[in-house]
Chains A and B, each alone.
Chain A
Amino acid sequence: KQEVTQIPAALSVPEGENLVLNCSFTDSAIYNLQWFRQDPGKGLTSLLLIQSSQREQTSGRLNASLDKSSGRSTLYIAASQPGDSATYLCAVKWETSGSRLTFGEGTQLTVNP
């Protein structure tokens, strides 16, 4: 069964700290992996997309890595800010799943001023 797991479920850090969010998946035959942000009461905002052939992607203070062999991806947030507080979701599109995405349950991040 193709599953996505995110650890931890919640994380609280002081402003300015660097942090890592983890995502693991059970089937290494992925097509791509995306990291999303979800603010309370809103839909998803796509942050980074990593294709199966890539090892990492960077956007501003965000860096996402992908290790297919170990079934893991990490989202690194540098110099965290209170505005980074949100739920971060990892989603996998597998080679056999067509356009369907499978999401993890998310990590709720709180950055304290």
Chain B
Amino acid sequence: EADIYQTPRYLVIGTGKKITLECSQTMGHDKMYWYQQDPGMELHLIHYSYGVNSTEKGDLSSESTVSRIRTEHFPLTLESARPSHTSQYLCASRPGQGIAKNIQYFGAGTRLSVL
């Protein structure tokens, strides 16, 4: 079964703190994504990566940054969190080839609240 993990599941922090949201997958997928989703709203792409040392910004502008030093790991960092960053952050990966190339596997998400 596909495994993609996000930690923490929930995070409440104060304004100005630096935070890193972790995402790891054990499927060997090259393509990974970070999405932001407010309750009851659509999913918006904020960052994606097609492999090690490859990162791109998505459709929704974000003050976060990402890195891809290892295939299985795609962390997202906010240098100085603000209340406007309060949202749910979803990480996903997909194989990019083969029969299931378009199927994205999502983590359970991190629900972030910035006070």
**Residues of A in contact with B (beta carbons under 8 Å apart):** 32, 34, 36, 38, 41-46, 48-49, 51, 87, 89, 98-101, 103, 105-106
Determine if A99 and B102 form an interchain contact, defined as CB atoms under 8 angstroms apart: no
**5 A-B contact pairs sorted by A residue (CB < 8 Å):** A41-B50, A46-B42, A101-B43, A103-B103, A105-B100
- Closest CB-CB distance, A56 to chain B, in whole Å? 16
Q: What is the chain B residue whose CB lies nearest that of A4?
A: B103
Determine if A34 and B106 form an interchain contact, defined as CB atoms under 8 angstroms apart: no
**Which of A43, A44, A51, A105 lies at the interface centre, i.e. has the most chain B CB atoms within 10 A of its CB?**
A43
Considering the complex, which residues of chain B in the window 85-103 have a beta carbon less than 8 Å from any beta carbon of chain A? 88, 90, 99-100, 102-103
Note all chain B residues with C-beta closer than 8 A to A43. Answer: 33, 45, 48, 58-59
A78 vs B4: C-alpha distance when bound (angstroms): 37
**Residues of B in contact with A (beta carbons under 8 Å apart):** 33, 35, 37, 40-45, 48, 50, 58-59, 88, 90, 99-100, 102-104, 106, 108-109
The 3 residue pairs across chains A and B that have the minimum distance between CB atoms: A46-B42, A99-B109, A43-B45
Beyond contacts A43-B59, A100-B108: 17 other A-B pairs, Cβ-Cβ < 8 A, are A44-B43, A44-B45, A44-B104, A45-B45, A46-B43, A48-B42, A49-B40, A89-B102, A99-B37, A99-B108, A99-B109, A101-B90, A101-B106, A103-B104, A105-B100, A105-B102, A106-B102
Determine if A98 and B108 form an interchain contact, defined as CB atoms under 8 angstroms apart: yes
Q: What is the chain B residue whose CB lies nearest that of A48?
A: B42
- Closest CB-CB distance, A69 to chain B, in whole Å? 22
> Which listed residue, A45, A49, A100, A105, touches B106 by the CB 8 Å rule?
A100
- Closest CB-CB distance, B77 to chain A, in whole Å? 19
Q: What is the chain B residue whose CB lies nearest that of A41?
A: B50
A51 vs B48: C-alpha distance when bound (angstroms): 27
A109 vs B79: C-alpha distance when bound (angstroms): 40
Determine if B106 and A99 form an interchain contact, defined as CB atoms under 8 angstroms apart: yes
Determine if A87 and B41 form an interchain contact, defined as CB atoms under 8 angstroms apart: no
Note all chain B residues with C-beta closer than 8 A to A48. Answer: 42
- Closest CB-CB distance, A49 to chain B, in whole Å? 5
Note all chain B residues with C-beta closer than 8 A to A51. Answer: 40
Determine if A49 and B109 form an interchain contact, defined as CB atoms under 8 angstroms apart: no
